[in-house]
């Protein structure tokens, strides 16, 4: 096989998952309830086909088999998350020993199979005991997160050298406090700003704790960086894209990597009376505790234009007061997810990090394609997901170009390892290299898994 796109030596080939989406065992093993368990109990109709997180793909019982499959697919790295509510059922205080045993077993099994674990501390799954105290609106929860992080570093840091504080922290802000697609279903910009701010402070406190622990690894954050492309070069469209970028990218990127907030964002939040409450010393904390490494999740671009109409003066303040979404004619779509496919976005993100964020060490931590009713493509016992191979290959070409042009990108993780339970969408769209029969839990490699193994073995394609 001739290699046209060769990646740097020791490139990280792998995939990513999250605890709530794959572990199952939500009511056993000493786990406490998180917000997803609670929301499903109270409003099952908000979930696709009324399917909740109680069993999911059952990684809790199948982790040995799954890690063998990861090895078979050519993984040298794998990102998982710890369930805060599993490790600390009440969110703070007593540690659940059954959870310690489970995560120790998973970490050891990965290492024994030549797969380096990348461990993320928070992936949308607030313990319900802490949500009852206000969730990320509460400063007490910020302190609880710092304690949880320290405990995780103590328990697992001797074998884990890549840590991440949060995955896509903007999503609980959007989903839970602006647009009503995550619990607690609040629509309030001031509360959203408080949640975002406290999350950034919690991340900095975890970074501080890790750097003070004496452990020799790296700690970062995983952000879904979605380029905001203007409809045109008209100043009004350019302003719309700049403000969209402030809200959805720079609100976490700047404090995490540069240690400060963009002044224009602060001015906008202030203008709308939504400035969060702060504590003395926060500014210094953020400045002194920036991340060592950045995970980049990329699925689709954001295309925006200047507002067509003035916002409703009686409606709640939302970022969309400053821009409208724009459907570019001729765009290519993943019709199942309603997302545009635009591979060059990955290049533009990495060049932005190079040019404006000190070329921080980074990697693609999620990129993938969800497709509905994949059984249509079953031939000879294997799903022929050529569309997924094409999707990954074309994104990898642009990532390769970014590296050629000086990006400090160290790896590529696909979302996701195995078909997983996807929040309110449940199993509607499948993303995995590994197909899961939801009823029997049988695992089967898809065509893309064999292709990825070849890419990983050759360190390119």
Can you give the pLDDT at residue 55?
83
Q: Could you tell me the pTM of the whole model?
A: 0.98
Residue 54 annotated as catalytic: no
Whether residue 203 lies inside any domain: the answer is yes
Whether residue 7 lies inside any domain: the answer is no
Whether residue 189 lies inside any domain: the answer is yes
How confident is the model over 107-131, as a mean pLDDT?
A: 98
Interval 265-288: pLDDT, tens: 999 999 999 999 999 999 999 999
Pairing of strands 371-372, 429-430: antiparallel
Which one of 168, 320, 343, 374 is the catalytic residue? 168
- Quote the domain boundaries for residue 445: 12-458
**Buried b / exposed e along 46-75 (16+ C-beta atoms within 10 A):** bbeeebbbebbbbbbbbbeebbebbbebbb
Residue 366 annotated as catalytic: yes
Whether residue 288 lies inside any domain: the answer is yes
Whether residue 380 lies inside any domain: the answer is yes
Least confident of 46-55, 154-163, 408-417: 46-55
3-state secondary structure of 116: strand
Interval 207-241: pLDDT, tens: 999 999 999 999 999 999 999 999 999 999 999 99
Total count of domains within the chain: 1
Q: Give the CATH number of the domain where residue 141 resides.
A: 3.20.20.80
* CA angle centred on 279, ends 278 and 281, rounded to 5°: 120
Whether residue 3 lies inside any domain: the answer is no
What are 445's two structure tokens?
Answer: 């490699």
Whether residue 447 lies inside any domain: the answer is yes
3-state secondary structure of 33: coil
Whether residue 4 lies inside any domain: the answer is no
Which one of 23, 137, 343, 366 is the catalytic residue? 366
């Amino acid at each position: 096989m001739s290699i046209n796109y060769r990646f740097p030596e020791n490139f990280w080939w792998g995939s990513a998952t999250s605890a709530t989406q794959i572990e199952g065992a939500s009511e056993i093993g000493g786990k406490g309830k998180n917000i997803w368990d609670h929301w499903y109990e109270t409003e099952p109709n908000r979930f696709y086909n009324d399917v909740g997180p109680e069993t999911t793909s059952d990684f809790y019982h199948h982790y040995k088999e799954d890690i063998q499959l990861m090895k078979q697919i050519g993984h040298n790295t794998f990102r998982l998350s710890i369930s805060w509510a599993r490790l600390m059922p009440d969110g703070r205080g007593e540690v659940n020993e059954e959870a310690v045993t489970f995560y120790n077993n998973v970490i050891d099994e990965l290492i024994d199979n030549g797969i380096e674990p990348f461990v993320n501390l928070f992936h949308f799954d607030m313990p319900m005991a802490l949500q009852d105290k206000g969730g990320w609106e509460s400063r007490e929860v910020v302190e609880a997160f710092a304690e949880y992080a320290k405990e995780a570093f103590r328990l697992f840091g001797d074998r884990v050298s890549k840590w991440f504080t949060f995955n896509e922290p903007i999503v609980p802000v959007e989903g839970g406090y602006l647009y009503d697609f995550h619990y607690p279903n609040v629509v309030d910009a001031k509360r959203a700003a408080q949640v975002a701010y406290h999350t950034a402070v919690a991340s900095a406190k975890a970074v501080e704790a890790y750097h003070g622990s004496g452990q020799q690894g790296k700690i970062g954050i995983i952000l879904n960086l979605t380029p905001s492309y203007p409809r045109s070069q008209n100043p009004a469209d350019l302003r719309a894209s700049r403000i969209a970028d402030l809200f959805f990218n720079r609100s976490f990127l700047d404090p995490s990597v540069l240690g400060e907030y963009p002044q224009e964002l602060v001015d906008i939040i202030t203008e709308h009376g939504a400035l969060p409450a702060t504590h003395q010393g926060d500014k210094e904390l953020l400045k002194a505790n920036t991340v060592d490494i950045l995970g980049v999740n990329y699925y689709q671009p954001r295309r925006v234009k200047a507002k067509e109409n003035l916002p409703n003066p009686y409606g709640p303040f939302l970022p969309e007061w400053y821009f409208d979404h724009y459907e570019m004619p001729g765009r290519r779509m993943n019709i199942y997810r309603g997302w545009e496919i635009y591979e060059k976005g990955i290049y533009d993100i990495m060049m932005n990090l190079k040019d404006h964020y000190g070329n921080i060490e980074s990697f693609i931590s999620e990129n993938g394609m969800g497709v509905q009713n994949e059984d249509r493509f079953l031939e000879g016992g294997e799903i022929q997901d050529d569309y997924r191979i094409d999707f990954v290959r074309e994104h990898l070409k642009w990532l390769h170009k970014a590296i050629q042009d000086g990006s400090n990108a160290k790896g590529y993780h696909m979302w996701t390892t195995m078909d997983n339970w996807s929040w309110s969408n449940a199993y509607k769209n499948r993303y995995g290299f590994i197909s899961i029969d939801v009823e029997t839990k049988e695992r089967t490699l898809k065509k893309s898994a064999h292709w990825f193994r070849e890419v990983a073995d050759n360190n390119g394609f």
